[in-house]
Chain A
Amino acid sequence: MRSILDRYAPAPAYDEFADALGRPRAHYAALAATLDGISWADFRHRVTTVNTVLLQRGVTFTVYADARGTERILPFDLIPRIIAAHDWDRIARGVAQRVRALNAFLLDVYGEGRILRDRVVPRELVFSSPHYEREAIGVRPPRDVYVHVSGIDLIRDADGAFLVLEDNARTPSGISYVLENRDVLKRAFPRLFDGYDPRPVDDYPLRLRDALLAAAPPQVTEPTIALLTPGIHNSAYFEHTLLARRMGVELVEGNDLFVRDNVVYAKTTRGPQRIDVLYRRVDDDFMDPLYFRADSTLGAAGIFNAYRAGNVTLANAIGTGVADDKAVYPYVPAMIRYYLGEEPALQNVPTFDCSDDVQRAHVLARLPELVVKRTTASGGYGMLMGPASTTAERAAFADAIRARPREFIAQPVVTLSAHPTVVEDGLAPRHIDLRPFALLVGDHVDVPPAALTRVALREGSLVVNSSQGGGSKDTWVLAD
């Protein structure tokens, strides 16, 4: 019998599974033993079963750049990613620290602006951010919480060190894959869990609900939560329905809401229901046509008035996008030192700010070695992967950088860590990242052991975004 591990050759990167000598790392040893006893034929059969189950469950996402607008399942890779307890401790500590700093930053830039006056973060970067929402200046959210939910994207460099690749402080998605992946893997392939007892992920919705309840306006005794979705055409609609159901809260769309006397109500079959906390998966621009985009029907007119009056919690708060602006990202370690007086537990990827003349010159001279990202884009769109780029692509980016330097940052290519992943004829290393989710509960940051591992399914690819051919893995956080 041919084992599926037979032909696994570790990648020229930090291999999560195998050490430098090709032996399974300690926390993967039991999995390696299990895989050794599974035939390739049996394994392929499981892959087919799992994909059918996922499609039936409707775990799909829409690819926006795909003109067909078709729904596809996010490819799910059956080989779980395992995180040792000591690694998770460091991740959770670093993520919690970062989120506290980002929240303090938001409170500051929409309040006194100390960090700008002290020139720790350039005022120019904040004020030129398309997500610096001036209507939110001077408007304090209930309990001073801005970033109720965030997703901090981490990668592992060639030495195995965890680095922060980017922050997602608006409406990070992906938790539904975490919940579904675990559930599906347990049903379809219980044997893989032999020798493991990964920390559960299924209490995430309840922890999210706790965070939302804790953020309710202080004058409300029994807060009502609703989840606001842009609707079925949104790529994360499946996630919205799943979270609403698992939290036991109403799923609403803009048309279901109205604002009377500075209070937000949902129209229900039992009459208007007052909403105290709105977990909104709608972008700032679309939340209130009175103050933001006048043509939006995804929010409700007057919501911002209700928010300003302190009658509703918006999670996340209005204006958090300035904290996850890619041009602001290089300054997050400085924020951590400034607000918390601590050293960052997780380092940034070295980043060049193209709005700075010296750094821009450096970037333009080294485009073939660098990754260039648009500060306003996400999802892996609008990137230049220097080493894989053509002369024409580089020339186009160079022109764009010169024309609008504020809109670009550049980073050295970091070879993401690799992980055994199912390919055509067995297992092969593919690059992965990690998105832990963080919940801000008052002053405390809860980092549930429910993180999303994304995997770049194309050989050699370093872009893990689902919109760019990425897939996901079940992620096991070990208790000890």
Chain B
Amino acid sequence: MRYTIAHRTRYRYPVPVHESHTIAHLQPRSDLAQYCTRFELSVSPRARLYAYADRYGNDVHHFAVLPEHDTLEVVARSQVVVVRGAAAAPAALPRELIDDDPALDELWDYVHESRYVRFCEELDALLSSIGIPGRGDDAVAWFRTAAQAIHDGFVYESGTTSVHATVEESIALRRGVCQDFAHVLIALCRRAGIPARYVSGYIHSGSGETLGAEASHAWAEAYLGPRGWIGIDPTNDTWIDEQFVRVATGRDYRDVAPVRGVYTGPSSSTMSVDVAVEALSPAQQAHTFAEQQQQ
């Protein structure tokens, strides 16, 4: 699949602010299953853009607007080719193959707490209702079961939690958005000793039923030993397939927030976000390809 994605974030300030510094995790990753063929970031007011690769391999951009301004607009446009197949469960994997994996030692951060992934009694209660996979148990099936428990037991509802909802709050309320569901699933995995990380990205809505398609989306990946990092979306209860575009991975939301920053001035501001993910039809794809060939 080939997608064009437009992601606009706009901040408005009631009185002018200055010296704003912003970090953006907006450039889709290029890996074995997807390739970012085009990426363009535009910022208003105009600012010089800088980029670096962070410790997770994400392409991060940052910029500063020093003079006074009362709006800040960040627009990311990307084209991504996704070559993942249809959603399918990976082959079964006895849990001990994760525990015995030589790479496990270096994944310390992914089996411990992080800023938004905290262990708590609510988590332990949820985990014991799902069960902890032991020796010989299939870790792949367990991961799917854990995601299903969130999908079936939690209500997707925006506005119930803030950006900074904790795992404890999300479980207590049994409500949240994709980000909260991802944090809960990651917490379940880590508490069970299975490395897990946060993925920020986009989902293309094939039908009207897809949740999280109007904004940037988030899900979880678990490190399943020889199967590698496997993604699952607890919000839509599906393995990650060609409808998903990965943008950035990290320990939790904090590491990969699409746009975040600081500025000097009064604290009040309003933010609006628009995301459009469009799949190019085969005809358009051929057209685009031909066009690029001519360049």
Contacts and interface: CB of A to CB of B under 8 A. Distances in A.
Interface of A: 113, 116-117, 123-124, 127-128, 134, 137-138, 258-262, 289-290, 294, 301-302, 305, 308-309
Contacts of B105: 116-117, 123
A320 to B, nearest CB: 18
B55 A258 contact: no
A127 B106 CA distance: 10
B109 interface: yes
Interface of B: 19, 21, 23, 48, 50, 52, 54-55, 62, 64, 66, 105-106, 108-109, 112, 261-263
Contact of B66 (A123, A124, A137, A258): A258
Contact of A290 (B50, B106, B112, B262): B262
A260 B66 contact: yes
A302 B21 contact: yes
Given A138-B55, A262-B50, A127 B109 contact: yes
Residue among A127, A137, A290, A308 with the most chain B CB within 10 A?
A290
B262 A305 contact: no
A232 B250 CA distance: 39
Identify the 8 closest CB pairs spanning chains A and B, nearest first. A301-B21, A137-B55, A127-B108, A289-B262, A302-B21, A290-B21, A301-B262, A138-B55
A369 to B, nearest CB: 33
Contacts of B19: 258, 301
A227 B263 CA distance: 24
23 contacts: A113-B106, A123-B106, A123-B108, A127-B108, A127-B109, A137-B55, A138-B54, A138-B55, A259-B21, A259-B64, A260-B64, A261-B48, A289-B262, A290-B23, A290-B261, A290-B262, A294-B262, A301-B262, A301-B263, A302-B21, A302-B62, A305-B50, A308-B52
Contacts of B23: 290
Contacts of B109: 127, 134
A124 B108 CA distance: 8
Contact of B112 (A116, A127, A259, A260): A127
Residue among A294, A305, A308, A309 with the most chain B CB within 10 A?
A305
A213 to B, nearest CB: 27
B251 to A, nearest CB: 8
A137 B50 CA distance: 19
A124 B64 CA distance: 37
A127 B48 CA distance: 35
A302 B112 CA distance: 29
A428 to B, nearest CB: 51
B11 to A, nearest CB: 15
Contacts of A113: 106
A444 to B, nearest CB: 31
A302 B106 CA distance: 29
Contacts of A309: 50
A325 to B, nearest CB: 16
